[in-house]
Amino acid sequence: MYPDHRLVKKCLQRIEEILNWGPSAEWHNDVFVELSERIQQRTQVLLSPTTLKRVWGRVHYKSAPSITTLNTLARFAGYQNWRDFKGKAAAKRSSPLFQRVRSNFGIIVLGASLMTVVFISFYSLREPKGNVDLMNLSEIGFTSRPISKGLPNSVVFNLNLGELASDSMFIQQYWDPTKTIRLGPGQKQATGQYYYPGYFRAKLLVDGTVIKEHDLFIASDGWLGTLDYEPVPKYLKTADVVNGGLSLPPSVLEEIKKNKEPIASTFHLVDRFKPVSGDHFVLKTSIKNTYREKWAVCQKAAIIILGTQSSMIVNFSIPGCVSEIGVMMSDVYLSGKKHDLSGLGVDLTDFREVDITVRERRLEVRLEDRLIFTGSYNQSIGDIAGIRYRFLGAGEVSYVRLSDLDGQLLAIDEEFK
């Protein structure tokens, strides 16, 4: 039991509540692998599954977690760092109400026990009322509207919760289970903040069950560049990033070089394209990495296809770093630590041509006509809603062409000239 053990447990409980993956005692190895990947995506810090098992007490370990581990967990839980979490937790514990409760704990426990017996006796005499499963969900209202155009953007959620009175009601803003808004009984409105363009599926959860959901579209208004700071990115408009290709201005490249912490940069294009199925398309493009120093030595890059129902992420790195990358195909995720992704080990010092083809929910990735990866998935990603290029550090794109399998219905066809 190290000094901050109780606080660490509270932080882990907060993460478990956000994830809503069930009791951590039932988590198996794959869950910790997925959590490691989620944490890295959100914080740009890799905490290995073994480290996470140690923190959760699944692997015996005598030492306290490092400050890097604590800072990362606190950020994932929604705080600035471990100091911020400790300060807010301490303020909550030192409140007059907490002190009064603690000093009268024995009386409270006895009273609660008596009340429980009375409640059970009383409740057993009553007819049970309907829960979420028995309610008429058509009476529950859940809609949204963006407040403005462009980014960042706030979204107003309009609610009609009816007689719902659970103490566990949330809006999950999109696929990331950490992006939630807590609701109270009878609440009519809530607002959420969106910092990136995309096609999001907002969900209303009650007691961990999705009872309503709808799609929410936030366009990029042409190509948008971002430096992916947390929690608020730095925005670069189309005129800043389109110059004979997609690239970052010299001032931004200098900013990246001076950054002591790993940071990603992303090019986004999200729009209402002509219908092109995300399960039947061809993407032809050419990319290169332009910053390979310090923490970016692995030349990590990703091409992300956004669908109306899900997404697809193809990652690249130098051959020596393929253990740290993965491929997401809608409902299927392949980790480089558990699968052979050596074909995606590519030197991106110079422009390399990449073809991504999806046919009947089967993905094929080619590098200059050489097949380097293939895989299948089950759940459709819907129609294509956007594309992203993400680089750890910085990179460039010389052209992008997106079409159906017959070469028709071009959604994107740009050489940036």
Which stretch of DSSP H or E encloses residue 409? none
pTM comes to 0.67
Q: Of 355, 374, 350, 351, nearest to 366 (Cα)?
A: 355
User: Do 225 and 235 touch, CB atoms closer than 8 A?
Assistant: yes
Which stretch of DSSP H or E encloses residue 395? strand 395-403
Starting at the edge strand that comes first in sequence, how are the strands of the sheet with 169-172 ordered?
A: 180-183, 169-172, 198-206, 209-218
Spatial separation of the C-alpha atoms in residues 51 and 48, rounded to whole Å: 5
Q: What is the DSSP letter of 162?
A: T
Per-residue confidence of the chain (417 residues) as pLDDT tens digits? 677 888 999 999 999 988 888 888 878 877 888 898 888 878 878 888 888 988 998 877 767 888 888 999 999 998 989 998 988 887 665 545 445 545 454 444 444 444 433 333 333 333 333 345 445 677 899 999 999 888 999 999 999 998 887 878 899 888 666 678 989 889 999 999 999 999 888 999 887 788 999 989 899 989 999 999 988 999 999 999 999 899 999 999 999 999 988 999 999 999 888 888 999 999 999 999 999 998 999 999 999 999 988 889 999 999 999 999 999 998 888 989 889 999 999 999 999 999 999 999 999 999 999 999 999 999 899 999 999 999 999 999 999 999 988 877 677 887 775
- The H helix count followed by the E strand count for the chain is 9, 21
Sorted by where each begins, the domain ranges of the chain are 5-93, 132-218, 224-414
Spatial separation of the C-alpha atoms in residues 143 and 133, rounded to whole Å: 21
Spatial separation of the C-alpha atoms in residues 71 and 73, rounded to whole Å: 6
Starting at the edge strand that comes first in sequence, how are the strands of the sheet with 412-414 ordered?
A: 370-376, 362-367, 352-359, 280-289, 395-403, 412-414
**Assigned CATH class of 224-414:** mainly beta
Looking at the domain 132-218, which fold is it?
A: Immunoglobulin-like (2.60.40)
Antiparallel, parallel or unpaired: β 412-414 and 209-218: unpaired
User: Do 316 and 300 touch, CB atoms closer than 8 A?
Assistant: yes
Q: Of 217, 226, 221, nearest to 246 (Cα)?
A: 226
Topology match between the domains 132-218 and 224-414: no
pLDDT at position 96 is 52
Spatial separation of the C-alpha atoms in residues 282 and 24, rounded to whole Å: 41
Q: Determine the straight-line distance between the first and last CA of the chain, rounded to whole angstroms.
A: 62
Within a 13 Å sphere around the CA of 115, how many CA atoms are in the beta-carbon half? 6
Spatial separation of the C-alpha atoms in residues 250 and 228, rounded to whole Å: 17
Residue by residue, DSSP assigns 15-39 as HHHHHT-S-GGG--HHHHHHHHHHH
| Per-residue tokens: 307 | 């669908």
Cross-strand pairs, 304: 313, 388
**Helix (H, G, I), strand (E, B), or coil: what is residue 58?**
coil
Within a 13 Å sphere around the CA of 369, how many CA atoms are in the beta-carbon half? 0
Cross-strand pairs, 333: 328
pLDDT at position 129 is 36
Spatial separation of the C-alpha atoms in residues 299 and 323, rounded to whole Å: 13
Which CA distances in Å does 352 have to 13, 21, 289, 397?
Answer: 45, 40, 10, 10
Residue type, 380: S
User: Do 362 and 278 touch, CB atoms closer than 8 A?
Assistant: no
Helices (H), 1-141: 5-19, 29-43, 49-55, 67-76, 82-93, 96-103, 105-124
Cβ partners under 8 Å of residue 87, min gap 6: none
